[in-house]
Amino acid sequence: MIDLDGFPLPENCPEPGACVRIERPEDGLAVLVLDPPHRSLAVLDGPLLRDLDAALDEIEGDSSLRGVVIAGREPLQFAAGADIDAIGAITDPAVLDRVVRMVHGLFGRIAALRPRTVAAVGGPVPGGAFELSLACDLIVAADHPKTRIGLPETQLGIVPGWGGCHRLPRRVGVPAAMQAILAGKLMPAKPAWKKRFVDRLAKPEYLRRVAADLALGREKPRRRGRGWKTWAVDRNPLATALVARQARKMVLARTRGHYPAPLRAIDLVAAACRTPLAAAAAREAAATAELAAGPVCKSLVSIFKGSEAAKKLGRGRDGFEPRRFEHGAVIGAGVMGGAIASLLAEKGIWTRLGDLDPEACDAALRRHRAEIAKKKKRRRLERHEAMLAVDRLDTTTDLGRGFHRAQIVVEAVAERLDVKRKVFAGLAAQVADDCLLATNTSSLSVSAIAEGVPHPERVVGMHFFNPVRKMPLVEVIRGEQTSEEAVTEIAALAVRLGKTPVVVADVAGFLVNRLLGPYLDEAIRLFEEGADPARIDRLMLDFGMPMGPFLLLDEVGLDIASHASQSLHEAYGERMTPATGVAEMMGPDRLGKKTGFGFYRHPKERKAKPVLADDLSRYQTGRAAAALSDAQLVDRMVLAMVNEAARCLEEKVVATAELLDLATVFGTGFAPFRGGVLRYADGEGLAAIRDRLRRIAEEQVADRPGGPARFTPAPLIEELAARGGSFR
């Protein structure tokens, strides 16, 4: 029997034998059904591994068997991979090493079975679930949109440690395995078959039957081998060294060395086909134990768990079930509104896009059709799906009618309170009383927008970030009169659109922009005080941000950034006093990337890189910041964000520290490997954070507007530091 000592078990741990059922539908065939009673979807946790071990004990001694099938309780419910909570709870590398070796032994027994083994998989098949399948002789996958297969472990800061790093290269070759493991993405069924991740596709209703036919030899498998490439590439040290070198170069360029897991995976995959199975398993176990106990993995797992928790915000509670919207509308056909409408249409909602400007409507339609055509070309959409997505979006310049069928309307017009109120007043006269009215405002009060609107409980904020399709976060803003049902339905819609919702209070800047404001403003102050903007951008890239603050200011637009900083100042007073540098630089032809000129010059050529403007020194009023160390410069920017985050948590702008951190990673791009703003502060120690804030506040010139106030430690930091506590 396997040893689960040290492996955390769920509180509702079922009795032995309850998680894996052995069925014998015909002579010579055993079907191991993964059907844990304590899970809605099988997870490779302690009880299931225990019962899989017991099931193998039974079938290993059965000489009458000619075939074994491993399946889920339903065709589209195989298994959701390893128990992330249990692995995340283990801090001792020795325990992790032993657990990983134990699972290797279990999967090794499956690989060594005398009868032919077939995995019948469908639905999500990530990580450990796919590695279990790789231990079988053959894999049959349900040909269905819900099927997704792959090894996402590097996205969680670990490597595929249950055989993925050596079994997948043997199946598909080192280059393909390397690419899949480093990308960490789940593939749909057909691409998985084309890349030889699986051996056969079957309709979900025929999945078990096809698996049984293959297991018993009634259908001959058509395994597509690698042929000469096995020896010329996979077992060739020179060839795999070249593949590894190119992969390492790509990873370092993308991660700047902050993420150790992809680099370890490269070494494991490159050597997989030349390493005996036992030795390969030992190397995987050692790498997994080391990485899983490290801070990067803990941070990434925390983000993953936070994301999963956020998605549950859209689930019905207390008998309320959110609607699945069929008809929607968007008012405002600019870049944001057009992209929101396009996304709604792609995800199955018949959408009407309204704008008074016919050229804006036409441009939005062109962008939508181009986006759908691109997805069709890349085979992310089937032909009929692409045609429907195009058909679902239409436009109108008549905002006085044509919206009566809408169940949800998203407003994305100019950031003016009077304009938004007028739009909602006009819509309220057309739509049903239960039609949700969502505003994409980034700076105005949702409660103020709702004033005068009939049934204000249906008015809610749905704040997307630009670019809409790429940014994963949606802030769901609860106004003073917004109902819990409206919040739940908007969160459910966000999940349907492939976004992660975070519910925030109706305060100035909401959450993300309120935290981003001090960070960007402090960068501008440092620039004014003589710091080299190229140095600052490089330091923040090294810290782990996706781009430096000055390039980000250009992306946002200097005019928009200036307006946002002024709004924050009006709401929060002295500590949000904006620097003057941007206002002095800004002009009609100098608004950032959209005009080709800001802190950087942005060439029109598609692949040309931005170049720092050569006239910036004229806007610098001092030289003091030029003498600051790298650590001091980083602290000025990051701790401004940490301090404001503590105030947001104290004011309950967001429910938990975990959700706040999730929003900072998904909304501001805060370094994922650091786990978010508050987790970063906890890792530094709040007493140290408090002392560094005090030091910066003391260094600020008293007559410099906002300086000392911004860095005076928030009361929550003082309180937690005094008692040795933490945010999380």
Asked about 327 being catalytic, the answer comes back as: no
Residue 102 identity (one-letter amino acid): M
The answer to whether 50 touches 2, Cβ cutoff 8 Å, is yes
Helix H or strand E encompassing 587: none
The two three-digit tokens of residue 566, written as one number: 């002024």
Q: Is the link from the previous residue into 467 a cis peptide, with omega within 30 of 0?
A: yes
**H or E stretch including 139?**
strand 138-142
Which residue, among 666, 644, 646, 652, has the nearest Cα to 505 in the 3D structure?
A: 652
**Own/partner long-range contacts of 563-567 (Cβ < 8 Å, ≥24 apart):** 563/415, 563/443, 564/442, 564/443, 564/509, 564/513, 564/517, 565/517, 565/520, 565/521, 567/443, 567/508, 567/509
Amino acid in position 495: V
Going by the DSSP 8-state scheme, the letter that residue 239 receives in this structure is H
- Provide the CA 672 distance to its chain's centre, in angstroms: 10
**C-alpha 536: how far from chain center:** 27
Three-state secondary structure readout of 630-643: HHHHHHHHHHHHHH
Q: How far apart are CA 479 and CA 502, in angstroms?
A: 14
**DSSP assignment of 423-480, as one string?**
HHHHHHTTS-TT-EEEE--SSS-HHHHHTT-SSGGGEEEEEE-SSTTT--EEEEEE-S
DSSP for residue 666: I
- The b-or-e profile of 659-690 (16+ CB within 10 A means b, else e) is bbbbbbbbbbbbbbbbbbbbbbbbebebeebb
Token couple for 288: 């997994």
In 3D space, the residue among 435, 408, 413 whose CA is nearest the CA of residue 343 turns out to be: 408
* DSSP secondary structure, 636-693, as one string: HHHHHHHHHHHHHHHTTSSS-HHHHHHHIIIII---GGGTSHHHHHHHH-HHHHHHHH
Q: Both tokens of residue 76?
A: 């589209």
DSSP β-bridge partners for residue 559: none
The single residue of 104, 166, 327, 463 carrying the catalytic annotation is 463
CA-CA-CA-CA torsion sign (375, 378, 380, 385):
positive
User: What element of type H or E holds 601?
Assistant: strand 600-601
Parallel, antiparallel or unpaired: strands 187-188 and 148-150: antiparallel
Nearest in space to 122 (alpha carbons), one of 224, 201, 21: 201
* 49 contacts 56 by C-beta, under 8 angstroms: no
- With tokens 């993953």, the residue in question is 304
Distance CA 256, CA 58 (A): 50
Q: How many other CB atoms sit within 10 Å of the CB of residue 155?
A: 19
Residues with a catalytic annotation lie at 463
